Amino acid sequence: MVAAVLADHRLACGRQVAIVEGDIGQPDIALRFKSVPGVHLRATNLNRSGASEEAVIKFAEALADLPTDADIIVNLPSAAADTMDALAPMLVDAGRDLGHESYVFYALGHQQTATDSALQSLREGLMAAVPPDHLCLIYPLFLQPDIERFHFVRSGARDAYIEAGGLEGAMPALRPESLVDKVLSLPGTFTALAQPDSALSFGERLFFGRQWLPAAHAAVAVLTEGTSHG
């Protein structure tokens, strides 16, 4: 969801957007944006812990095939940590060689295991490969509506992260479930779904377009404001 909201936000800001779909098993981002005019799409399997070098080669080739003036959004599968963390500096260097700065959005779970994974990435993984002010931790409020109850916050890890210069945002929960199912089943941008001619009913558009979407955009805007390359 974070990658889709980020792509939607950048399009709404008038930016050219390219997407690298790294989750071949569940290519939900590619399916959503494949019919959106002007969005460049590439797909490569980044969940390959036993063949991480080949995955990085394919990833670099996908980057090189995209416009240099586009904001490139890479959708990483949650199980790709082994691939991405081991070769993160090379991935960031590949982007830099092509004229892109790298920014990492990390959706955080609310339990201790999620804190452990995040701290591992901050120490020696993908998040360690970029400056702290290029990081944004996203709290998915559908997991836990109170940020203060996330283990990352309660453990004190958040304090150290913020002190180091990291940023954060809260992804709002979309409800009711019937609206979630409808939104996820409809292709195209979220911004288009908020328009009067969308497949959403008037009441659904009212909540989705005036409450959820502005809050979702705000969650990623904290890091994207003032940036020109993804």
pLDDT value for 26: 84
What share of the chain in percent tops pLDDT 70?
A: 95
Report d(CA 133, CA 135) in Å as an integer.
Answer: 5
Q: Are 129 and 102 in contact (CB under 8 A)?
A: yes
Confidence band for 45, pLDDT divided at 50, 70 and 90 = confident
pLDDT value for 226: 45
The pTM is what?
0.92
Is the confidence at residue 116, as pLDDT, over 80? yes
Question: Is residue 43 helix, strand or coil?
Answer: strand
The stretch 32-56 carries a mean pLDDT of 87
6 vs 82, which has greater pLDDT? 6
Q: Are 230 and 71 in contact (CB under 8 A)?
A: yes
Least confident span in 22-36, 78-92, 148-162, 183-197: 78-92
Q: Cβ contacts of residue 168 below 8 Å, gap of 6+?
A: 136, 137, 138, 139, 158, 161, 162, 222
C-beta pairs of 45-51 under 8 Å, 24+ apart in sequence: 46/22, 46/74, 46/76, 46/77, 46/80, 46/83, 46/84, 47/22, 47/23, 47/77, 47/79, 47/80, 47/83, 48/80, 48/83, 49/80, 49/82, 49/83
Is the confidence at residue 186, as pLDDT, over 70? yes
For 103-124, the DSSP string reads -EEEEPPSSHHHHHHHHHHHHH
pLDDT value for 133: 95
Is the confidence at residue 224, as pLDDT, over 90? no
pLDDT value for 127: 95
Kindly report the average pLDDT of the chain as a whole number: 91
pLDDT value for 225: 62
